[in-house]
């Protein structure tokens, strides 16, 4: 994402300075892989292998903070976002991306695809950045 002011000047791009907090992780084949301590919710060691029978899979869910969009919300304990390449995300053949490469890959403001530490299992992630 690239944010511009009324004059068309870029004021922010998505990068690893953003905060990313996971609130829903699924499908978990083994809950023992999940690290959930304080504000850390890390599923990066969890398996993403396909399976024929998902009847024993589970999910992890945390309530969303009601004021997470407020400018004074404290996200300092949230992990930083993780940046992913275009190839990893798989957008190089998507019109929503390829029709706007001058924005997505602008040399002076090349935004990153950001998410949490697990692009596959982390299904609901809130991303925050406070601009001055």
pLDDT, one tens digit per residue, over 83-114 is 998 888 887 777 777 777 777 777 777 888 99
DSSP single-letter state for residue 31: G
**Residue 90's pLDDT is what?**
81
Whole-prediction pTM = 0.87
Q: Which are the contacts of 25, defined by CB distance < 8 A and separation ≥ 6? A: 34, 41, 43, 46, 59, 60, 61, 118, 121, 122, 123
- Residue 29 pLDDT greater than 90, yes or no: yes
Buried b (16+ CB within 10 A) or exposed e, 21-44: bbbebebbbeeeebeeeeeebbbe
pLDDT tens track for 46-61: 999 988 888 999 999 9
């Amino acid at each position: 994402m690239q944010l511009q002011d009324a004059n068309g000047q870029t004021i922010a791009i998505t990068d690893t300075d953003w905060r990313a907090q996971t609130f829903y992780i699924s499908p978990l084949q083994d809950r023992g892989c999940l690290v959930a301590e304080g504000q850390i919710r890390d599923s990066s060691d969890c398996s993403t292998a396909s399976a024929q029978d998902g009847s024993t899979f589970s999910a992890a869910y945390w309530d969303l903070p009601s004021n997470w969009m407020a400018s004074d919300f404290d996200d300092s304990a949230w992990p930083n976002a993780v940046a992913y390449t275009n190839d990893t995300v798989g957008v190089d053949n998507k019109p929503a991306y390829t029709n706007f490469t001058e924005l997505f890959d602008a040399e002076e403001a090349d935004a990153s695809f950001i998410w949490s530490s697990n692009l596959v299992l982390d299904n609901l992630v809130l991303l925050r950045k406070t601009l001055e």
